[in-house]
Amino acid sequence: MEKTFYIETFGCQMNAHDSEKVVGTLLHEGFAQVEAPDQANYIFFNTCSIRDKAEQKVFNRLQHFKNSGKGKILAVIGCVAQQEGEKIFDRAPHVSLVAGSASYTKLPEMLVQLEAGNRRVTGLSLETDQTFDTPFTSRDNPYRGWITIIEGCDKSCAYCVVPFTRGPERSRTSASVIEEASRLAGLGYSEIQLLGQNVNSYRDPSPAGWDFATLLDQVGRVAGIRRVRFTTSHPRDFVKPIVDAIEANPNLCNHVHLPVQSGSSRVLEAMQRLYTREEYMDRIEWMRGARRPIAITSDIIVGFPGETEKDLEATLDLLDEVKYDSIFSFKYSRRPNTAALALGDQISEEEKTRRIVIVQERQRAIQMRQNAELLGEVEELLVEGRYESTGQWVGRTTRNRNLTFSSSASDLLGTYVNVRVTRSGPNALMGELVN
C-alpha cells in the first residue's frame, strides 16, 4: 500500500507543535503528506478534549469518515485518544490507532504494526519519563519556531483534564533546548516560542539544573534569535526572576500569558489553583513595575460550580484592575476524571452564557480604551502574513499584538519593520510603515 497521510489538528499550540513532530516523523518513515483526506491512505486526527465541545468535534469528524474512510487507516491521537482510550474503537470501529502524546516516541513502532495489518494499535501508557524530541520536525511557520521544553502537568486544577491526557511533567535537558534553538536560528528562524502546559515549572534534568528563568534568558542569547516567547505560565510557579530576565534581556518579548481563571479567591480555592487573588496581583505588580511595558493576557472561566454573582463581580473587578491586553474566556465544561465533577451547584448553560457575555463586554471596553492609547506609537513588527485580497501585510509586536499595514514592497515576510499605529479598535490595530 502506498504510504500517504493527511492530518487534522485540533486544540492548543502544544498540539499544533506535536503535529509538526508527528508529520516530521511520518515523512522520515517514508510517508508522503497530502492536502485532502480522499488522497490519503492514512488519516490522522490530533485531538483536543479541553472542553466537551472540542471532544464532540472529533467524534463528528470520525462519524463523517465512517463511509468515506473505507479502505483507509484512521488514527486518533492526542488528548481525546488518551482520555477515551480503547473506548474509541467501540464508538468508531473504523479507527485503527489510538495513541496519546506520551506515546509519540513509539510512533515508528506503532506504524510498523499498522503496516503489518494490525487494526487495533494503541499507545496509551502515561507512565513515561520520555519527551517527544525529534530532529525531523516539519515546521509550518518559517519565522517562528516552537520548542517544547516541558511536557505533561503535575497540577490538579479541579476543572482540568490535561493531567489525565498528557501525563506527568517531564522536562527536556537545557542542552537539547539550546541546541534546537541554535539549529532553528541557523535555518533563519528569528523567533522562538517555548511551549509547555506549565513552562514555569521547567526543571533541567541534567546536572546544570537550570530553572525556567535561566533557560528563558539563555535561549534569548542564542545568536540569531531576536524574539523569545513562552506559553503557558501558572501563577503559582511564576516567580520574580522571570520578570527580571525579561527586563534584562531585550530579546525576551514584552508579553506574559498568565491565566487567572477567576477574580474570586473563593472560586480559586474551589478550582484548586493554589493561589489567591492577592498573590496573583503580586505577580501583576512585578510586571507593572518593570522598566519595559509588559503586555499581560489571561484565561477566564465563568460558571465554575458554585460561582455566585458576587464571584462574577470579583472577576469583572479584576479585569478592571489588571487591564489585560486581551483574554480568552470560556464557559466551564464538565470533564471526565476531574475533581469538579463531584461538586454540587452546577450553573445552567443559559446562566453561563449570560456571564460570559458580561465578561467579554467588560473586556472589550477595556481593550477599546487601551488600544486607543497606542495611537501614534511606533512598534517594531515581525511581518508574518499578507492579505491577498487587500494587499495588506500583518505582523506582530513584541507585546503580541497584530498590526495591519499597507506597503507596495514585494516581499516583507519574515522581516522586521517599524509601523506607526494610526487606527485602533477593540481587537485590531492598523498602521503605516515608518522609514
Radius of gyration of the chain (CA): 22
CB of 395 to ligand SF4, least distance (A): 26
Of 79 and 192, nearer to ligand SF4 (C-beta) is 79
Amino acid at 211: D
Interface with ligand SF4, residue 137, by CB under 6 A: no
Give which of ligand 5AD, ligand SF4, none residue 303 binds (C-beta under 5 to 8 Å, depending on kind): none
Burial class of residue 255 in the structure, from the number of CB atoms within 10 Å of its CB (0-12 exposed, 13-18 middle, 19+ buried):
buried
Interface with ligand SF4, residue 271, by CB under 6 A: no
| 194, 219 Cβ separation under 8 angstroms | yes
CB of 167 to ligand SF4, least distance (A): 11
| 398, 371 Cβ separation under 8 angstroms | no
Write phi, then psi, for 89 (nearest 5 degrees): -65, -30
Among 166, 227, 331, 355, binds ligand SF4 (CB under 6 A): 166
CB of 48 to ligand SF4, least distance (A): 3
CB of 430 to ligand 5AD, least distance (A): 29
Residue partners of 112: CB distance under 8 A and separation at least 6: none
**Residue 405 is placed in which grid cell?**
499595514
Bond into 232 cis (ω within 30): yes
Of 31 and 330, nearer to ligand 5AD (C-beta) is 330
d(CA 363, CA 172): 37
Among 6, 7, 15, 296, binds ligand SF4 (CB under 6 A): 15
387: enclosing H helix or E strand: strand 378-387
Give which of ligand 5AD, ligand SF4, none residue 333 binds (C-beta under 5 to 8 Å, depending on kind): ligand 5AD
Among 49, 174, 261, 371, binds ligand SF4 (CB under 6 A): 49
Terminal Cα distance for the chain, rounded: 56
Residues of this chain that bind ligand 5AD (CB under 6 A): 50-51, 159-160, 259, 261, 299, 301, 330, 332-333, 335
d(CA 151, CA 163): 10
Q: Name beta bridge partners: 229.
A: 193
CB of 268 to ligand 5AD, least distance (A): 12
CB of 204 to ligand SF4, least distance (A): 23
Stretch of residues binding ligand SF4 (CB under 6 A), selected from 36-44, 60-68, 160-168, 317-325: 160-168
Among 162, 177, 260, 271, binds ligand SF4 (CB under 6 A): 162
d(CA 408, CA 388): 12
Task: Give the binding site for ligand SF4 (CB under 6 A).
Answer: 11-12, 14-15, 48-50, 78-79, 161-162, 165-166
